[in-house]
Structure 1
Amino acid sequence: MTTAIRRVVVGVSGSPSSLAALRAAVDEARRGPSELWAALAWTPVGGETGYRRAPCPDLLKLWERQACARLRNSFDEAFGGFPGGLVVRPLVIRAEAGRALVDIADRPDDLLVVGAGERGLFARITHGSVSRFCVAHAGCPVLAVPPPALLAQMPLRQRHRLPALPVEAYAGTDVRQ
């Protein structure tokens, strides 16, 4: 006997792979009476250790506002806004992405959806694999969504660039942890 999924947790970063995961998560959430928990995890530039060595609260606030704007922008790029007819709980969390997603999707009847990212040695060396961490450590089912085919057609230098948002986009952000 299978149990109904009550929460679909998806990791969002704004990358093309995470947008594919977001679309898949919305499809999964619509299949049953499920809530969509969209989580964007972020850490200060230079990591937590670097920030402890040279703390700057103003920069910390800016980075958090940027993370909130990236989460909102991801929904705008994928759907033109938050999808209707679905309970969406946006989360912006200051933590390493893999650990944060595993901690959020902590119920056996959750479904964790992550973008699998690019394949290949170069991609594994230059980027930590959040999807591999989640598959290895999650206590719930994990759906690893392959990268969109369009990603392979993009020049290498553009594949991981996040869209630049004007400073005005960060004003008035209200998506919080």
Structure 2
Amino acid sequence: GCKVIWVTDVDLAKQVLLDSSDKGSFIEQKIAAPAWSPVLSLESVNGESWRDLKSNFLIFQKYLPPAEALTLVLRNILSTQDPTVEIDAKQVVRITVACFVKWIFNLDWDPKWDFVCKASWEWRKEIAAKGKADPLLKRRTIDWLIDLISQSHYLQLFGEQWSTPECYSVIMQPFILSPMINMSDI
């Protein structure tokens, strides 16, 4: 076993996390990391994987459009929504991913990509430990993202390495999956 210490001091907790790339082996390693798989989550990986992922994220982040542009994208997408359609959690997921796809890739949402929204519900189910996600749907979603990347100016950043979890995850986790999951939970 391992000794667990409950830390309530926010500054101490922050310092502990900043001083180490190892978050331990409890919830993140046993539940979260396998649930995110084959995507790597910055919050769930440790050691060398964390360092590689963080390095790739920082490189990619420099090439993103300005954050202010995301606000404009959101306003534009919301202004085109049919006012008679009820906005439920599924619509929030679709609007959220459409915004990020437009902001990152400058592409309008294609309804044939709606399987990506369904995949977010699968990931959410597994992350919440409520069941196993459909691995084929997860893979299809990753392939979709890699295809978007391969047709974008981002391809030059990592080239063929975009097909590895250490690269595609820098977009998939923080800009596709987490927003779809978190925005619809609010």
Query: TM-score scaled by structure 1?
Result: 0.24
Query: TM-score scaled by structure 2?
Result: 0.24
Larger C-alpha radius of gyration, 1 or 2?
A: 2
